[in-house]
Amino acid sequence: MKVQFLGTGTSCGVPMPLCSCEVCTSADPHDNRLRCSVLVETDDHKNILIDCGPDFRQQALRAHITHLDALLITHNHFDHVAGLDDLRAFCWENPLPTYADPIVSKTFIEKYDYIFVHKYPGVPQMDLHIAHPEDEFQIGETLVRPLQIYHGKLPILAWRLGPLAYITDCTEIPESEWAKLEHVDTLILDALRWKTHPTHFNVEQALEVVDRMKPRQTFFTHLSHDIGLHPWANSRLPQGVQLAYDGLQIEF
């Protein structure tokens, strides 16, 4: 399995407009972060996109994405779904299987009625599936499981794809979901900043999750400028844990 980090930033991205902090003015490309998304290539070469935010067009061009086989959505906040229209190049003719919870699915149908209801030629063709936490399904040879987590008080989805767990925008993983996270090899986890936040894990809370789950390797994502300069922040993390950055590719 391969993962390419298309974006590792929080909702404002980094640099953040009007900010002159040392991170937002850094010349290090590791400190430049588009909105959060990853591309997963499975062992049978299926390309699975997790979230499709407002930077997707730029991300797709930069990563030279040639095709998509499925889209998994975590929740309906702008920074995770606003690039939906830019998928049209990948699904002009063949509908893209898209998996989302009931809240997101309802929002999609209402907001993107020209895609899902009043269709016209040239719009993205999407095959929308409602995913529940008790569901599991196959994309090619890979078993996919949605997990119910909480983004503040908002119930959203995380995703387990074979040996990979992708958990972003999270403040709580309910006890009922921990069994789905057994034997995770690679964890991609929300860690917004060092200080606490009402709707995201901070670094300390994220490390508590890592300590309980014990994956072989962990990559923190959805990072704000408050995380600090990339080399400095990375140096404060324990072995086996590191900050992700845009363009990072891993294989496991």
Summarize pLDDT for 131-150 with one digit per residue, the tens. Answer: 999 999 999 999 999 999 99
Q: Answer whether 202's CB lies under 8 Å from 148's CB.
A: no
Q: What is the pTM of this model?
A: 0.97
Residue 251 lies in a domain: no
* Residue 28 domain flag: yes
Q: Within a domain: residue 56?
A: yes
Residue 252 placed within a domain = no
One-letter amino acid for residue 9 of the chain: G
CATH number, domain at 16?
3.60.15.10
Please check the confidence at residue 247 and state whether its pLDDT lies above 90: yes
Cis peptide before 15 (omega within 30 of 0): yes
* Any domain includes 250: no
Q: Can you list the alpha helix ranges (DSSP code H) found in 71-202?
A: 78-81, 102-111, 113-116
Token digits of residue 167: 């958990």
On whether residue 228 sits in a domain, the answer given is yes
Q: Is residue 218 part of a domain?
A: yes
Dist. CA 99–CA 48, nearest whole Å: 11
pLDDT digits (tens, 9 = 90+) for 183-209: 999 999 999 999 999 999 999 999 999
> Residue 120 — pLDDT band, cuts 50, 70, 90?
confident
Please give the residue range of the domain that contains residue 129.
2-245
Structurally, the chain folds into a number of domains equal to 1
Altogether, the residues listed in the chain come to a count of 252
Say how far apart CA 82 and CA 29 lie, in whole Å: 24
Q: What is the per-residue pLDDT for 119? A: 84
Residue 173 lies in a domain: yes
Q: Which pLDDT score is estimated for 123?
A: 92
